[in-house]
Chains A and B, each alone.
Chain A
Amino acid sequence: MKNSWRNSIVCILSFFCLAFVCIKPLLLQFPSFFPEPVYDFAKNPLTEEKVVLGRHLFYDPILSRDSTISCASCHSPFNAFAHTDHDLSHGIGDSIGSRNAPALMNLAWHNSFMWDGAINHLDVQALGPISHPKEMGEDIARVVKKLQASEKYRLLFQKAFGQNKITGEYVLKSLSQFQLTLVSANSKYDRVKQNKDVFTEQEERGYVLFQRFCNSCHTEPLFLNNRFENNGLPIDPSLNDYGKWTITHQSKDSLKFKVPTLRNLTYTYPYMHDGRFKKLYEVLNHYTNGILQSATLAEQFRSPIVLSSDEKTDLIAFLLTLNDKEFVFDPRFQFPKN
């Protein structure tokens, strides 16, 4: 009698241990001086299994119509998940799109996505490139069918969601989970903020200039403000891209684009929504000499910005302190080996 009671207790304890081992919750790690994320983790709590699944999906060209284009095709880990060497990103069949793919990092702190704010939640962002005829040219329903036919993915979805019936919701939420783990917070700037490093004199001068001229839009510590601004870029007549206006059709949104982060700039060139600037000097020269005045121009540019050549060099020296080499070479974010 004693033995059967003991066996029952062992079984019950084993069941709970197994259940605990099978699903491993994760917490997003970030420095204490970062604000709280805006992503609602209660609706999609991080687990190791879902992050692993999302990572496999991120690097798998199965998401595209002809299995040639994955998310990583335009969001390369070695470029801080941006697309370098191309002003406009290209997709299926070498189609060239109309914008430069933005870098992916610190996405839990974004409340809108895409240069024009077309997407209002990270969980539905992937639908855009998956279905765009010049990106992946696919359809989420067909993606689900292809994944359902794969033994590898049935197993991964079983581990992540407790069932091997795959749905669009599960595909999107697991992609979100992997992308949410792409936190870049170990640059020299971050170490200085935590009193673990010190700026050089030049970097310090650059930081002062940054706080005076740039921080109102590229706000520390994420170096973005979740807003859309017209930064005076003359329109490219070959693209006629009016930014947020293309979504809202409100005249106040004409030529406004999402303010991007300034982290990892060494890895994420070229710059701006259409990749028109290859070098950071070109960006600064635009702000001092190239602003086009218009009705929707950001207030900060109504008066000229004056920077000497030395000041531009100092400012760039500070911007380079936002590079996070660890993030770019982190094996946890790269192509999954198993």
Chain B
Amino acid sequence: MRDFFLIGLVLLVGGISNAQSDTVKIDFSPRFGNQKLELGKSYYQSIQKDSIQITTFRFYISHLEFLKEGKVIGKYAQEFILMDMEKPETFVLQYIYGAIQPDQVRFQIGIDSATNVSGAMGDDLDPTNGMYWAWQSGYINVKLEGKSIACPARNHVFQYHLGGYLKPYLAVKEVTTELNTKGKNELGFDLSLFFDSVNVRELYEVMRPCEQAVKLAEFLTVQNALK
């Protein structure tokens, strides 16, 4: 009788173990080509024949959802995440999923329109984070600043503050990408691709909702380098 009880207990524990959840890891650390991006480091940009240094790179990722075969099976608890090169810990997320393993993740780069008209908010949305336009309501979705030898601005400094929550200048981008639940997913923006498309000689300052902001936001692409 005792043996049957012990076997039953082992099977029960085994069953419970199999029903336990697992974790998917996502790393949004930005890259420049095949290198992890470092602030202040010079990168040669062959298409534009330019040398680029990044001094500030901050952006919002929001409304992360996990999908299986096109259907949402879970959402990341923190709705709005401010990711910052000066705080690399902000790039790494871990999501614990239940019985169903997700095969895709979907998120927005930036802050949605409804949130933009909801007034003052806290935590990652607090205006003290330097990602809110004081002179005109609206979040800065992406703040990218640096130096480029080719940039004609004062001190060769380029400043891209990309925002806009109203059409026609809606600079929020939605991304859906494959997910690997076995290893780490590297979803960081590859800024070499961004600067392939942007001629810093001609466009080096964008600081309001406008056509250029929408275009530049489109150049921020995510390619899941599954590892």
Closest to A142 in B: B128
Question: Distance in Å from the Cβ of A322 to the closest Cβ of chain B?
Answer: 29
With known contacts A119-B136, A131-B135, A168–B127 Cβ distance under 8 A? yes
Give the number of A-B contacts (CB < 8 Å).
Answer: 67
Among listed A120-128, A206-214, A220-228, A303-311, interface-contacting one: A120-128
* CB pair B137 A169 closer than 8 Å: no
Question: Distance in Å from the Cβ of A305 to the closest Cβ of chain B?
Answer: 34
Count residues of A near B (Cβ-Cβ below 8 Å).
27
Q: Which of A43, A121, A124, A168 has the most CB of B within 10 A?
A: A124
Whole-angstrom distance between the alpha carbons of A132 and B122 in the complex? 22
Question: Distance in Å from the Cβ of B89 to the closest Cβ of chain A?
Answer: 20
Whole-angstrom distance between the alpha carbons of A118 and B137 in the complex? 6
Whole-angstrom distance between the alpha carbons of A148 and B137 in the complex? 25
- In the complex, whether B8 has a CB less than 8 A from a CB of chain A is no
Question: Distance in Å from the Cβ of B76 to the closest Cβ of chain A?
Answer: 22
- In the complex, whether B98 has a CB less than 8 A from a CB of chain A is no
Whole-angstrom distance between the alpha carbons of A167 and B121 in the complex? 10
Q: List A contacts of B125 (CB < 8 A).
A: 169
Q: List A contacts of B20 (CB < 8 A).
A: none
Closest to A39 in B: B119
- In the complex, whether B79 has a CB less than 8 A from a CB of chain A is no
* CB pair B127 A118 closer than 8 Å: no
- In the complex, whether B19 has a CB less than 8 A from a CB of chain A is no
- Contact string, A183-206, partner B, CB cutoff 8 A, digits 1/0? 000000000000000000000000
Closest to B210 in A: A249
Contact check: which of A118, A128, A169 meets B120 at CB < 8 Å?
Answer: A169
Contact check: which of B119, B130, B134, B135 meets A123 at CB < 8 Å?
Answer: B119
- In the complex, whether A235 has a CB less than 8 A from a CB of chain B is no
Nearest 9 A/B pairs, CB to CB: A123-B119, A131-B134, A168-B128, A127-B134, A169-B122, A123-B120, A172-B120, A121-B119, A120-B137
Question: A: which residues have CB within 8 A of B?
Answer: 40, 43-44, 118-124, 127-128, 130-132, 140-141, 144, 167-170, 172-173, 176, 247, 249
12 contacts between A and B (CB under 8 A): A44-B119, A119-B136, A121-B119, A123-B119, A128-B135, A131-B135, A132-B135, A140-B127, A140-B134, A141-B129, A168-B128, A172-B120
